[in-house]
A and B are shown apart, each in its own frame.
Chain A
Amino acid sequence: MPSPTITTLLEGHRSQPHQLIEALQDVQKHYGYISEDSMRSISDELGVSLMEVYSVASFYKAFSLQPRGKNIIAVCTGTACHVRGAKMVLNQAISQIGAEPGEISKDGLFTIEHVNCLGACALGPVVTENESVHHHMDPGKLRKLIKSLKKGDKEGASHV
């Protein structure tokens, strides 16, 4: 499936083993995750062994090897956020979406992640939804956020 476009994605990295991470980043950005097929293509195009590609992709947390939802909700579970109840927020997110952290929800819209610190401890508990940061989260606010995201997706384009 990804074959025709992945070749164009890897255009600038061909035969340059040192650009492995850049290539993986491009694939991740384009597909949202790195599939087995794309790893094989990267290995062929860049001239890096498949083992090396797999080692690097599995080493960095920034690369996801499983498909991810359209919206990525990252709940901060760092010390400050934990003290202010990040656990409750995370549990709420899991029960709302019906998928464990790292998994994709059944409708393909959401993936929850927990991160260790977002660097905004004074605003905790912090949740990021795609790229935007939400401060002082509680289960109620999170429920509303998820609801509005679902609604936005149903209505179509408007929500980015």
Chain B
Amino acid sequence: MTQEVTVNIDGAFIRAPKGSTVLDAALGAGICIPHLCRVPYLEDIGACRLCIVEHIENGRSKITTSCTLLVQEGMRILSNTDRIRKLRRNIAELLVTEAPNSRAIQDIALRCGVVETRYPFRNSDCVLCGRCVRACTGHFGEKAIGFVGRGKDRRVESPFNLYSELCNECGRCIDLCPMTIVPCDGNMKPGEGRLCGNCESKMLTEEAAQGYCIGCYMGDGFQCERSITNTL
């Protein structure tokens, strides 16, 4: 039998199996913490930083990514405070200006309350979430693609930028890529990047209500467990 611990997330006492992450526990209990780089069956690396939470320990709060934070007995987590919302909005704003051509990222930005952007749109086609890289290395281990370079030159590539003979064309990297779901209006050309905001009517944008599940649709592979179980 798996051992269970009790954690306090946003005031709710949640039982979660030992060794699971705070994000998993929260999503399992229907507390929606926005997330992008997480894939349920892959190792989490905390790349997108969207799932940040406040971890209160000895009266001090520490901000960390919930996907890399393991549950502990008696933990106190706050996922929807003013501070978190402000930081998360900033992160979502940066992500959407980097890659406005993704329905998933546009929806996440809207969900995190981004109404205007203060940065120029880059129309890049990668946000380095690492979903493809982890799909290729983690579970099945082909290791045909990976991160190359560092800092602003970091990119996803195969060795020497040649077609890797290790790739067996399973297509898992493409299935998991947030850039494959284009916004409803179609692709934006460079320089025409904007917030699409198409789904505004469907989304609950009121800031304080962000902790509740609204059954958002982020495209295949991006739903949390709750919406998957709802549709089944």
Residues of A within 8 A of B (CB): 36, 39, 49-55, 58-59
- With A51-B145, A52-B143 known as contacts, the answer to whether A59 contacts B158 (CB < 8 A) is no
CB <8 Å contact, B146 and A52: yes
Would you give the 0/1 interface string for B146-166, flagging 1 where the beta carbon is closer than 8 Å to chain A?
A: 111110000000111000101
The docked-state distance in angstroms from the alpha carbon of A25 to that of B146 is 21
The docked-state distance in angstroms from the alpha carbon of A58 to that of B158 is 12
B173 CB-CB contact with A under 8 Å:
no
Q: Which of A36, A39, A55 contacts B146 (CB 8 A)?
A: A55
**A residues less than 8 Å from B159 (CB atoms):** 39, 50-51, 53-54
CB <8 Å contact, B143 and A49: yes
The docked-state distance in angstroms from the alpha carbon of A52 to that of B148 is 9
The docked-state distance in angstroms from the alpha carbon of A103 to that of B132 is 33
B144 CB-CB contact with A under 8 Å:
yes
Name 4 extra pairs, CB < 8 A, besides A51-B143, A51-B166, A53-B159.
Answer: A49-B137, A50-B164, A51-B144, A59-B149
**A residues less than 8 Å from B166 (CB atoms):** 49-51
The docked-state distance in angstroms from the alpha carbon of A55 to that of B148 is 5
The docked-state distance in angstroms from the alpha carbon of A58 to that of B166 is 20
CB proximity of B48 to chain A, nearest CB, Å: 20
CB proximity of B79 to chain A, nearest CB, Å: 33
CB <8 Å contact, B148 and A58: yes
The docked-state distance in angstroms from the alpha carbon of A146 to that of B146 is 40
CB proximity of B155 to chain A, nearest CB, Å: 10
**A residues less than 8 Å from B147 (CB atoms):** 55
**A residues less than 8 Å from B145 (CB atoms):** 51
- With A58-B149, A59-B149 known as contacts, the answer to whether A36 contacts B143 (CB < 8 A) is no
Nearest residue (CB) in B for A55 is: B146
CB <8 Å contact, B144 and A59: no
**B residues less than 8 Å from A50 (CB atoms):** 143, 159, 164, 166
**B residues less than 8 Å from A36 (CB atoms):** 160
Nearest residue (CB) in B for A43 is: B159
CB proximity of B77 to chain A, nearest CB, Å: 33
**A residues less than 8 Å from B146 (CB atoms):** 51-52, 54-55
- With A49-B143, A51-B144, A51-B145 known as contacts, the answer to whether A59 contacts B160 (CB < 8 A) is no
13 contacts between A and B (CB under 8 A): A36-B160, A49-B137, A50-B159, A50-B164, A50-B166, A51-B143, A51-B144, A51-B158, A52-B143, A54-B146, A54-B148, A54-B160, A55-B148
Most buried by A among B144, B149, B160: B160
Nearest residue (CB) in B for A59 is: B150
**A residues less than 8 Å from B144 (CB atoms):** 51
The docked-state distance in angstroms from the alpha carbon of A50 to that of B143 is 8
The docked-state distance in angstroms from the alpha carbon of A59 to that of B144 is 17
CB proximity of B181 to chain A, nearest CB, Å: 26
CB proximity of A36 to chain B, nearest CB, Å: 6
The docked-state distance in angstroms from the alpha carbon of A121 to that of B39 is 48
The docked-state distance in angstroms from the alpha carbon of A56 to that of B144 is 15
Nearest residue (CB) in B for A36 is: B160
The docked-state distance in angstroms from the alpha carbon of A49 to that of B145 is 10
The docked-state distance in angstroms from the alpha carbon of A51 to that of B146 is 6
The docked-state distance in angstroms from the alpha carbon of A58 to that of B149 is 5
CB proximity of B156 to chain A, nearest CB, Å: 10
CB proximity of A55 to chain B, nearest CB, Å: 5
**B residues less than 8 Å from A54 (CB atoms):** 146, 148, 159-160
Most buried by B among A36, A53, A54: A54
